[in-house]
Structure 1
Amino acid sequence: MDEQIRLMDQNLKCLSAAEEKYSQKEDKYEEEIKILTDKLKEAETRAEFAERSVAKLEKTIDDLEDKLKCTKEEHLCTQRMLDQTLLDLNEM
């Protein structure tokens, strides 16, 4: 009977030590989960900001392309007008 009590006491101590060990691991994993969750939130925030920046840049590109097209058309009109003026001057 004493032997069984001693074995049960040893088993209880082993189980208590294992519980402490796994409790510490669990705490460590919970902290790691918290850190990773924070990093994920930061990454998502950066991604959203980047998406907004890309959208703004795309709009700026579209606006600049439209302005370039208008400027080219104005240049062609001016070139035609200069050509016509030169012809008119040569006919005088």
Structure 2
Amino acid sequence: MQPQYSQKEDKYEEEIKILTDKLKEAETRAEFAERSVAKLEKTIDDLEDELYSQKLKYKAISEELDNALNDMTSM
């Protein structure tokens, strides 16, 4: 009877080890994914800031061009 319990215990210990390894692997992947998401969110923020800046520049240039055209037509 005792060897059978020992075999089951060994089997369960091996299963626990496998599951623990899988858990560590999953946690590592999750941490990497979280870092990747954070980097992507920062990239999005940077791109949104750059887009806003470029829109302001475009508006200023458009106004300057409109003023120049108005000056030319009023001569």
- TM tier, smaller: over 0.9
Aligned to 2:57: 74
- Structure 2: distance between partners of 1:20 and 1:83: 93
Of 39, 47, 55 in structure 2, the residue corresponding to residue 64 of structure 1 is 47
Is 1:86 paired with 2:30?
Answer: no
User: TM-score, normalization: structure 1?
Assistant: 0.79
RMSD (Å), alpha carbons = 0.6
- Structure 1: distance between partners of 2:2 and 2:49: 69
User: Which runs of 5 or more structure 1 residues have no equivalent in the other structure?
Assistant: 1-17
Describe how 1:1-92 pairs up with structure 2 within 5 A: 18-92=1-75
- Structure 2: distance between partners of 1:41 and 1:91: 75
CA deviation profile, 1:28-87 (whole Å, cap 9, x unmatched): 000000000000000111111111111111110000000000000000001101110110
User: TM-score, normalization: structure 2?
Assistant: 0.96
Quote the offset at 1:19 in angstroms. Answer: 1.2
User: Which runs of 5 or more structure 2 residues have no equivalent in the other structure?
Assistant: none
Runs of 4+ in 1 over 2 A off after TM superposition: none
Count matched residues.
75
